[in-house]
Amino acid sequence: MGPRSKHYDRLWAIETAAGPVHTSPNHYSAGDLVERHSHKRTQLLYARSGVVLVTTDQGRWMVPPEHALWIPPGVEHSVEMLGAVTMLSLYLDASAVPDLPAFVRVVSITGLARELIIEAVQPPSDDNSRERADLILPLLLNVVAKLPDISLGLPFPEDPRLAALCRRFIANPTPDLIIDKWARELSMSRRAFTRAFRRQTGLSLSVWRQQACLFAALPRLAAGEAVTTVALDLGYGSIPAFTTMFKRMLGTSPRSYLNSHSNH
């Protein structure tokens, strides 16, 4: 069975599943791409290992190891694997949890959530499996509804000219992006440019730039590249400058982040 057939089989299983929660554990190779699709249930896409990049019309969201992404029903999205990935997904019916997220957002997986998700996706092994699932499910739904948000989204502007500048930057990220230069390229004043960018993305260009650099760094760090190499390749003049940016975005240093996620 080819990748396309497996993809459609999974979609069929999701759309026809009974009950409030459908689970799906999957393993992918580096470079695998799940083509653009949507589903009628809300998805919690948990990256057990590896880095996942999800793309929608509204932007890109990076899901590093031990994080998850909420994808609301009906949102068209594709999923790219940046390295080998183990993905555990929950597909929740609207009746499962009140006030499920209405927007795509990244959340950090807590230790309790991790263990509950792993248990939930296990295939039934004995007569007690159903009873065990009935005990786990209410706690799982309560826990995942309260997972903490983390800023790993990279929204794209609606204006095609602004979006083109963003895509060009992603292809060659640098901490030295100059607002005035981008504004001149679009024949806009600095003030008009910054207002338009924030209005269309919800972020200042400075914060957007930092998140784009983080997007470029995480897959390389997760693949084992040295922090020094990644920082210099991204144009940072010093390791402390790169570490400061990383701490601001993820709340910890690159080494601490990687060490904490390599132990699971």
What are the phi and psi torsion angles at 21 (to 5°)? Answer: -135, 130
Alpha helices in the chain (DSSP H): 3-16, 111-120, 129-144, 160-171, 179-185, 190-201, 205-222, 227-233, 239-250, 254-262
d(CA 253, CA 261): 12
The closest of 6, 14, 19, 257 to 133, measured between CA atoms, is 19
What's the CA angle centered on 172, arms 60 and 155, to 5 degrees?
Answer: 20
Q: Residue 209: count other Cβ atoms within 10 Å of its Cβ.
A: 20
Lowest mean pLDDT across 22-26, 168-172, 191-195, 238-242: 168-172
Q: Which two tokens stand for residue 79?
A: 């999923």
Reported as a single tens digit per residue, the pLDDT across 55-96 is: 998 888 888 888 899 999 999 999 998 778 999 999 998 888
- The answer to whether the CB of 26 falls within 8 A of the CB of 50 is no
What pLDDT, in 10s, does the model give residues 171-211? Answer: 888 887 789 999 999 999 999 999 999 998 888 998 888 88
pLDDT band at 240 (very low <50, low <70, confident <90, very high): very high
